[in-house]
Amino acid sequence: MTEDVPPPDGPDGPDGPDEPGDASGEADRGDWRREFAEEARAERPDLARLCLLIGAVADPTVTRRDLDEAEIELDRLAGLVPYATRITGDWAAELAALLGRREGFEGVPADYQRLESSLLHEVLRRRRGLPILLSVVWMEVARRAGAPVYGLGLPGHFVVGFGDPADLDLADPFAGGRAMTGEDAELLVASATGEALDRSMLRPAEPGAIALRILNNIRAWAAPRPERADVALWAVELALLLPSHPARLRYERAELLVQRGEFLTGAIEMEAYAQVMDAVDPDSATTIRRRAQAARAMLN
């Protein structure tokens, strides 16, 4: 169940609005959430900008200059791709040589335990990240260099492809750009789901879907860390700014508000979500109203 509705009101930053008198926050940091919402709803959203704005919300020290420098680094890397690749079409091999071997972009299992592995500006700095963020680096460098590149969100793993998706000319940036065949993709899907590869899984991912998957990864990182409920909350709130998102995220936001002690606001949002659920799942709506009542009771 998805929806396309205005997002709920939320704090201006990862931990609320800038303190009064913080001129640098006003001038150098901007209203990152508003900018994210505007980019997400643009006719052709810029993937790099969406990812960098996620990082800006995550890291209160990030300034506009940091975002500009990240874009400059992507441009620099694109300039290192041999121009002849436009003629040879050997994009996967050239990018593996440049980004994987020369520049050192790759992933290791420990990256799954680090929040910065989901933040593009940090991935550009560390040369480490989750598969989807390393794929974003590849896609943005390749796109700037003129490659027919796309992202492929396979279950459990994100890779990049070149040319016609039917040709399955794939590479795995997490493995330093290892070339992948259609059989490799089938094995990945089988290991992640226990099922066969479905052709629908080979549809190139749109920028909004990639941003949502990154935010889902951040929520998954925060879930076993109750002390980082703030991270889970801003990740949910950014996801709600996307034109298409799971309707249940509104309920998740309400639960996080209650978890953070905002009992009344959380209860009100639970009740609003219960009204939505009345038409599709009355039993769940009743359960949600009970949880809202329990949240209100915590005010006493």
Distances in Å between the alpha carbon of 135 and those of 105, 129, 143, 194?
Answer: 10, 9, 12, 24
Nearest residue to 149 via CA among 134, 165, 162 = 162
For the stretch 139-183, pLDDT in tens is 999 999 999 999 999 988 999 999 998 888 999 999 999 999 888
For the packed helices 263-277 and 282-297, what is the interaxial angle rounded to 10 degrees?
A: 170
Instruction: Please identify which residue in the block is written with the tokens 């979500």.
Output: 273
The pLDDT value given to residue 271: 94
The pLDDT value given to residue 5: 36
Instruction: Please identify which residue in the block is written with the tokens 């996801």.
Output: 239
Give the residue ranges of DSSP H helices in 223-262: 229-239, 249-259
pLDDT string in tens for the chain (300-residue length): 443 333 444 434 334 434 434 444 455 666 999 999 999 999 999 999 999 999 999 999 999 999 999 999 999 999 999 999 999 999 999 999 999 999 999 999 999 999 999 999 999 999 999 999 999 999 999 999 999 999 999 988 999 999 998 888 999 999 999 999 888 888 888 888 888 888 788 899 999 999 999 999 999 999 999 999 999 999 999 999 999 888 899 999 999 999 999 999 999 999 999 999 999 999 999 999 999 999 999 987
The pLDDT value given to residue 128: 97
DSSP state of 226: G
Q: E strands within 34-184?
A: 149-154, 157-162, 169-172, 178-180
The pLDDT value given to residue 263: 94
Could you tell me how far CA 203 lies from the centroid of its own chain?
18
CB 17 within 8 A of CB 34: no
Nearest residue to 241 via CA among 32, 25, 56, 1 = 32
Instruction: Please identify which residue in the block is written with the tokens 């939320």.
Output: 10
CB 162 within 8 A of CB 92: yes
The pLDDT value given to residue 167: 87
CB 81 within 8 A of CB 94: yes
The pLDDT value given to residue 30: 67
